[in-house]
Structures are given as structure tokens and as C-alpha cells.
Amino acid sequence: MKTKIYIALTALLAGFVFNSCTSDEMETDKGSESLVLSVSSEVVELDQLMSDREAFHFAWTAGSNYGTDSRISYVLEMDLKGNNFAGGLKKDIGATDSRILAFNHKEMNDLLAEVWNSSLDETLEFEARVTAAVLGHEEFTQVSPVVTFKLTPYIERYLNLWMIGGATVGGWSLDNATPMESIEDEPNGFVWEGVLLSGELKFVLQKTSFVPSFNKDGEDENKLVYRESDDEPDEKFMISTPGNYRIKLNLSTLDIEITDLGGEMVYPNLWMIGSATTGGWSLDDATKMTPIADEPNGFVWEGELRTGELKFVTQQSDFYPSFGRDGSDENKLIYRQDENDGPDNKFNIKRGASYRVKVNLNTLDIEITNLDGEEPDNSEFWMIGTAAGETPIAMTKDDSNPELFTYNGELQDGTFRISKDKEGTEVVTEEKQTYKSKYVVTFNVGSQDLTVEQIVVYEKVWAMGEAVSGDFAWKNVKELTQSNSNKNEFVYEGELGTGQIKFPLQFGDYDGLFFVAEEDNKGVYDEFTGSCYLSSDKGDNKWYMNNAGTFKVTINTYKKEIHFQKK
């Protein structure tokens, strides 16, 4: 057998047991003891399951330094029997008082493979000797008698293997990876049978990392390739047609067979996703359906659905393959292989309620049953309360969506709720606060969602004039703060001097709109409440601040009211 000299053993011998001493600690009087090497066992079968345990060790006597008081340095040699130490292992141990060199099962197995190209069940017979050199006295070099021993290596066997990918029921989740079964009489052989979906797959050695992995050989689809890092090509095996398959592979020969077993395709799982479900469009939060025991590919689910859309997916790691609504028959499913496979039609749930959903992926039938009974009377809805005024306001049903009711108009300072009748005996929403303004109110009967949007008259208001900055320059205007609760109310708090003041509604344009006083130089002292007018109606009338100080100025742009209050 071909051998080679193996001197640089730092990596392979990382775990050997060996202790050195400093020159001050080392014994220099070695006496006249003969140099003798021994092995802990003459026959050793290496075992992968005991990889980190000691397999055997060398030990040797000190030898003699012949009274020179010089240290002794040792070299251990190991080679195949009959090779006369022409190659193999030469380990320069150096000067030491600890004369033991130990190997665990994995260290020695790796050494046999690296240096002697060992193979499975091949018992190798070795010779070993140790040479002792007295430092500074070459003439006293000693060589121990040769010892012989036998070692039987093992081919490293992978104990576990998992499948991951869109073609597997666990998808690309390592936690849900599909375990393969080892073949008892075939080292590194694995087999699996079951359902595969359309999609990609590859194989991983652990459930905590995507590498190392075994992938598809880019040049031969019947071969595996070992992928050690993310920097290497990530070719996967492709399953085009969902079905029942057998996968058989060997990680030593890198052969793989993927066999379509035919027969009826039975999907192991089915999930609902969509805005009508509690998990929305999140695959992680998809709603799992229950297989029907006596109905192959039949699934059922009962629970609450919202107004919205839904469809069905066969795994939680990918939106495809999926089952959606047949565009020509709302009681039928249609299979979509990927995003390019026809229109993405979904099932519409028109109102929130308790439902039973029953599907069969063989017949493509679907039944969506409302368990809450007859549809409620949603023909009219009313806004009642102080915000609506003395007379309840009838909401308008949307022509395109019968579950949507709207109101677009003025509401007062106050509160309102939505009721099925104008007497307020069947209230269906919580109370909402409004301020006198125009609003757009939208109520969705199915989801019970109520939105109230205030129509803003003017987006911004500024203060300008002698009372603000001593002049009417745009660079010196002060912007008022819009109220968080009433978008048509703006507030200024700060110092005001004596002189004129007005309120621009458009920045930088002297010909634009302003809020102005009823008459020019309308007097303001410590407090004033009154109307404000558009400059297009009243001209350039300004208020006149008679008392300087800290003021709070509040303007309601919808009511066109202004209030000055000195602090």
C-alpha cells in the first residue's frame, strides 16, 4: 500500500495526551535504563461511536544519557510492517519527561485515512519504534526495539440525514426538516418514502444549520455533491409533479435515486391563508385544516372568519403550490403550481361569522357554510347621538359592496354611535367623538370596522404682523399648531407685542387667503372671542393688539372662530 511521510500532524494530533516540562523542571540524570517502547494494545478495532475515547497509546522508557547530564529528545516512528519506516508517521516529540502519546478513535482513524489511505474492514499491521537522541552527543543516540500491532479502521458513517425544501411537507424550516431512515446493511445509505410536493429539495446533516449539505451535482442529476459553505453553488433537486416518491441515496458513493411510486396523491396537510383568516396572509400564522379520516385528500375546519379573502396552501414555507377559487365555478377549487399558473382567484367571505369550510383536493369540491344561520337584516344603519344633532342620520349603502355604509357631511361637537334603527335600540359600535366639521364616516357590517375621517379645511395656519415680529415679512411668521383631536383647530402660544396681526392660510403669497377681522384694526385687549373672515370676503382687515404679553390664540377654521386669551 502506498504510504507517505507525515510530519506536520498539528491538526490530526490535536487531542493526543502529552505533557512537556521546562528545562528547569526536567530530570537530566537518566541513569542507564534501556530504551523500550510499548503499546497499550496489540489489536485495536477503531469505532466511530467511541470517537472521543482513547483507542490506544504508546509509552516508552527514558533511555540513558550516559552520565552527560544532557537532555534527551525523542522521535516516534510508525509505519506499515515491512516498510522499514520508509514513510508513514514521524513525530518529533522533543525533550520531555512525559513519555506517553495517546490517540482517540477518531484521531487515529483520520490518521490512517490521511497517511495510509485505509479503507473499511481492512486490518493493517504496523511497526513502531522510538529514537532517543542525547542533546550534544550524537554518539549516544539509541533506537528502541520495534513493536508490532494491528489496527482496523472504520469508514466514517453519517448517523443522521434530513430533507428540506419546498417539495417537502416541512418546507425550508430546519425545525420541520424531514428525517430519512438509515439503511442497516449499507454504510451511509439512507432511504425515505412519502409525499412530495412540487418544488426543490436538498439534504442537511443537522437541524441547526443549512451547511454542510448534500446537493444536486450540477453535471449529473443522479449524483450528490457535498456543499461545505454558503460560498459554494447551491443546486437543488426539483420535483415537478406532486406525488408519492421513494428517495434512496448513499453519501459515500454520492448516488441518488428519486422514484415516482405513482398511486393516489395524498396531501398530508392543508392550510388556509388570507385576510378572512385570523392569521392573515402570514404563512407562519396560517390556519391549519383537519384531514377527514375516511376521505382521502378531504379536509375540514370550523371557526370564525372575517370579511375578506382566503385560499389554501399545502405547506407553511411557500405560497405555492396552492388551491384557489375556480373562476367559472365558486364551488370548485383550482390548482396553481406557481405564481405564473393562471389567475390568483380567492374565495370571498362577505361577512364575519362562524363557518365550516370543507374541501376535497381530489374532486376539487369546496363547501363554505355559515354556521350562524340566516343573514341578519343589514338593510339600514343610523348615526345617533349629539354629534348627529336632533335627528338621527341615515347612512348610505354602497352599491358595489352591500356590507359597506357611508356618510359624508357635517357633524356637530359631540359623540355618536351606529345603530340598526334610528331609535337606538340596536347599537352596534362604540361611541365616537367629533367636533363641528365635515366628516367621512364608513361602517363595514361584516368586520364591524368603523372609520371616522375629519375633512380638513386648511392644512396650515400662520400668524403675521407687527404684534408677531414688528413687520409683515414672510420670514418672520409663526406657524400655529394643529390640534391632534380636532384637525380644524390651530393654536399659537407665545409672546405678542402691540400692533396689527392677521393669519395667512397660504405661505409666501401676499395675494393669497388670510383669516382677517370683521373690520380693520379690530381691538384686542386681554381676551377676545369672535368671528374670523376670509380676506376674499373682507379685504385686508387686521386685529390690533393693545396689550403686549403672553397669549394663547385659538382658531377653528371650520367654524371660522378666533379666541385670544392673555395668560
> Does domain 37-152 match CATH 2.160.10.10?
no
**Within the chain, which residue ranges are assigned CATH 2.60.40.10?**
37-152
User: Are the beta carbons of 201 and 163 closer than 8 angstroms?
Assistant: yes
Average of pLDDT values for 499-510? 96
Distance CA 459, CA 531 (A): 19
Distance CA 518, CA 538 (A): 7
The pLDDT assigned to 475 comes to: 96
Give the distance from CA 111 to its chain's centroid.
42
**Within the chain, which residue ranges are assigned CATH 2.60.40.3620?**
461-566
The pLDDT assigned to 121 comes to: 62
The CATH number for 461-566, chosen from 2.60.40.3620, 2.60.40.10, 3.20.20.540, 3.40.630.10, is 2.60.40.3620
* 325-340 pLDDT per residue, tens: 998 898 999 988 888 8
Question: In which residue are the cell numbers 502519546 written?
Answer: 101
Average pLDDT, the chain: 90
User: Minimal CA–CA distance to 122: which of 94, 152, 93?
Assistant: 152
Residue 472 pLDDT more than 70?
yes
* 408-455 pLDDT per residue, tens: 999 999 999 999 998 988 899 999 999 999 999 999 987 889 999 999
Q: What are residue 183's phi and psi, to 5 degrees?
A: -90, 120
User: Are the beta carbons of 436 and 411 closer than 8 angstroms?
Assistant: yes
User: Topology of domain 271-370, per CATH?
Assistant: Immunoglobulin-like (2.60.40)
pTM of the model: 0.43
Average of pLDDT values for 86-102? 92
Pairing of strands 503-504, 450-454: unpaired
Residue 298 C-beta-side C-alpha neighbours within 13 Å = 7
CATH of domain 161-262: 2.60.40
